[in-house]
Structure 1
Amino acid sequence: MLADYRKIFNRLNQAVYEFYLQYNKGAQKIDEYNLTVQQENILLYIMRNQGVRANDIAANFSITKSAVSQVLSKLGKRKFIVRESNPNNLRESFIFLGEEGKKYAQLIAEADETFIKKYCSQIKVEELEQMVQTMEKLSSLFKENNES
């Protein structure tokens, strides 16, 4: 029985890998920003969580606040992010997209739109919904087991 799960898991890994390969081919302008994987992941997190704090980023990615500060410093120098002081705690700041970050977010949105129109629209919404529910369930199980 475990062998069946292993086969499915391997197929899932391969499908996700191929999905990202194809998606990235369609989003080549994004590559021109030359972001590291960590910079890109943190920037995507900030895009989805405007006004986030560095501590929240560190907790989400399970990395040190020092590592987050280094990435944020580099993103800030390149105007991908801006920081606004927290009026209730002047030692911390809220992080928002900066000028370049907004351009980057627009490119992501355009790439997503193209991908949805070209590929996702060929799959039934119910099938996509089932896939999302399964991935959310797996993610939830990962989180539960990592918190224990």
Structure 2
Amino acid sequence: MDELIPIVKEINEAEYELNAMLLPYYQQIMEHELSVKQSLILEVVYKQKQATVREIADQMKVSSSAVSQIISKLDKAKYVKREINPSNRREILVSLGEKGEDYFAQMQQVEQDIIERYYTKLTMEEVMQLKHITLKLKGIVEQELAGQN
């Protein structure tokens, strides 16, 4: 355990420095000035294409009223669109708006640029090792967190 701590600290420091070096790539996206919660809501809507306020709240583990307030701001800024669910008129369906589509188009371009510029300098075996270790660590964290509930 004692030998693990400095190694993990070194990994965390390298990851922090890596993110700091890549920050210029993300500047165009950061100009959107979205809060973390707004970004998370957009991510849920982007992945699902369309989601109800309740579904978003459940995924984020927050109240529907908190999500509704954030969605209202995102709607005014054209990041999302809201419409009444024709199947259940009490539900509001949320999908990406014009600025939301633009936000994710920019994210994909940044990701593509980073892959082309940096990840292509790794071997496929190294990329697969990185993927394997990252997914394994994610699974461990998910299991541990699920055990806490």
TM-score, shorter chain, exceeding 0.5: yes
User: Could you say which residue in structure 2 is the equivalent of 1:77?
Assistant: 76
Deviation at 1:42, TM superposition (A): 2.3
In the other structure, the counterpart of 1:92 is 91
Give the drift of 1:134.
1.8
Does residue 64 of structure 1 match 2:55? no
Instruction: Give ranges in structure 1 of 5+ residues lacking alignment.
Output: none
Match of 1:5 in 2: 4
TM-score (norm 2): 0.84
Pair 1:54 & 2:53 matched: yes
List alignment gaps of at least 5 residues for structure 2.
none
Task: Give 3-state SS (helix, strand or coil) of 1:79's partner.
Answer: coil
1:147 counterpart = 2:146: yes
TM-score (ref. length: structure 1): 0.84
Q: CA deviation at 1:41?
A: 2.6
In 2: Cα distance, 1:69 partner to 1:24 partner:
31
Number of residue pairs aligned between Structure 1 and Structure 2: 147
Which amino acid in the other structure matches residue 117 of structure 2? Answer: K
CA distance in structure 2 between the aligned counterparts of 1:71 and 1:20, rounded to whole angstroms: 27
1:128 CA displacement: 1.8
Query: How many percent identity over aligned positions?
Result: 30
Of the two structures, which has the highest relative contact order with CA contacts closer than 8 Å and spacing of 6 or more?
Answer: 1
The reply on whether 1:111 has 2:110 as its aligned counterpart is yes
Cα separation, partners in 2 of 1:70 and 1:117, compared to 1, 3 Å: same
Q: Which amino acid aligns with 2:110?
A: A
